[in-house]
Amino acid sequence: MDVTEATFQTEVIERSKSVPVVVDFWAEWCGPCRSLGPVLERAVAERAGKVELVKVDTDSNQQLARAFNIQGIPAVKAFRNGEVVAEFVGAQPPPAVATFLDGLFPNEADELVSLGDEASLRAALELEPSRPDAVLALARLLHGRGDVDEAARLLARVPGNFAADGLLARIELEAAGVPDLSAAFAALDSTDAERGLDLLLEALPTSDGAKDRIRRTIVGVLDELGAESELARASRRRLAAALY
């Protein structure tokens, strides 16, 4: 399917929310484009229904080419949920194209994590023992029912993960019991992140020896809110002011 600037939003951005869409940026005069095109078409046909292929003529759609920083062709970009998730430039042999396409589909561990129950999460960790999203989800389940020792052991598998370190810091704070942060944690558990963060930030000035663990807990919450969250941005500024 040929896509233009007028149809790109519908045929690529919106469509990619249902199925991965691979965009082949090409031009008629480009020899490598003509050799890559049939390879892409065959590979996509072999995965019928799992991925879609569209083509964008960069000569006729120069605004799109600029928007996606196309500096050489053929350029292939894969979209999922409206975002570019994988890409390559230049003609590639069939095995490389097949590997590229297969990387767009959920693997067994992905599917197990998406189920979210304890048995599925444990099975995912059998396949990928240090997979952060599986570790964090299972640790939350364990923490919620009071199995804090196992939760802490799991969280130690993913050093450097802010969300995991934040939950581990919370477990340490709950074990210490000082200061009393139960209201803050109850707010976080009820998905009232704003109140939970307010209470944690208010506790920082008088927290003495617990300050670093409160900071780590806050950073974990901010990490889960994401960089685009206005609450996260405002709370990050308050955290910096409280610490420095």
Same domain? For 132 and 86 the reply is no
Domain boundary among 83, 102, 121: 102
Residue 3 lies in a domain: no
| Same structural domain, 73 and 122 | no
CATH, residue 97: 3.40.30.10
Query: Which residues are within 8 A (CB) of 198 and not within 5 positions of it... i.e. 6 or more apart?
Result: none
1 part of a folded domain: no
Q: Given this model, what pLDDT does residue 21 score?
A: 95
Please list the residues that pair with 54 across neighbouring strands.
Answer: 23
| Active-site amino acid positions | 30, 33
Q: At what angle do helices 108-115 and 118-127 cross, to 10 degrees?
A: 160
**In total, how many domains does the chain have?**
2
Q: How many helices (H) and strands (E) does the chain have?
A: 13, 4
Q: How far apart are the first and last CA of the chain?
A: 56
Closest CA to 56 of 89, 28, 23: 23
Tens-level pLDDT at each residue, the chain (244 residues): 899 999 999 999 999 999 999 999 999 999 999 999 999 999 999 998 889 999 999 999 999 999 999 999 999 999 988 889 899 999 999 999 999 998 898 788 988 999 999 999 999 999 999 999 999 999 999 999 999 999 999 999 999 999 999 999 999 999 987 678 999 999 999 999 999 999 999 998 888 889 999 999 999 999 999 878 899 999 999 999 888 7
Domain co-membership, 192 together with 219 = yes
Closest CA to 129 of 160, 158, 164: 158
Q: What is the pLDDT of residue 77?
A: 95
Return the CATH number at 198: 1.25.40
The confidence score (pLDDT) of residue 195 equals: 96
- Verify that 188 and 117 share a domain, yes or no: yes
Last residue of a domain, one of 60, 85, 102: 102
Domain that holds residue 213: 108-243
- 113 shares a domain with 80: no
**Gap between the Cα atoms of 74 and 92, Å rounded:** 10
Do 37 and 115 lie in a common domain? no
Does one domain contain both 81 and 188? no
**How crowded is residue 22: how many other Cβ atoms within 10 Å of its Cβ?**
24
Classify residue 2: in a domain, yes or no: no
> How far is residue 241's CA from residue 244's CA, in Å, rounded to a whole number?
5
Residues 57 and 175 in one domain: no
The Cα–Cα gap between 96 and 114 comes to: 28
The answer to whether residues 89 and 206 belong to one domain is no
CA 3 to chain CA centroid, Å, is 27
pLDDT for position 58:
95
What pLDDT is attached to residue 111? 87
Which H or E element spans position 87? strand 83-89
Radius of gyration of the chain (CA): 23
The pLDDT value given to residue 240:
92
What integer pLDDT is reported at residue 173 of this predicted model?
Answer: 94
Domain final position from 42, 71, 102:
102
How many Cβ atoms sit within 10 Å of the Cβ of residue 231? 14
**128 domain-assigned:** yes
Amino acid 177: pLDDT: 76
76 with 171, same domain: the answer is: no
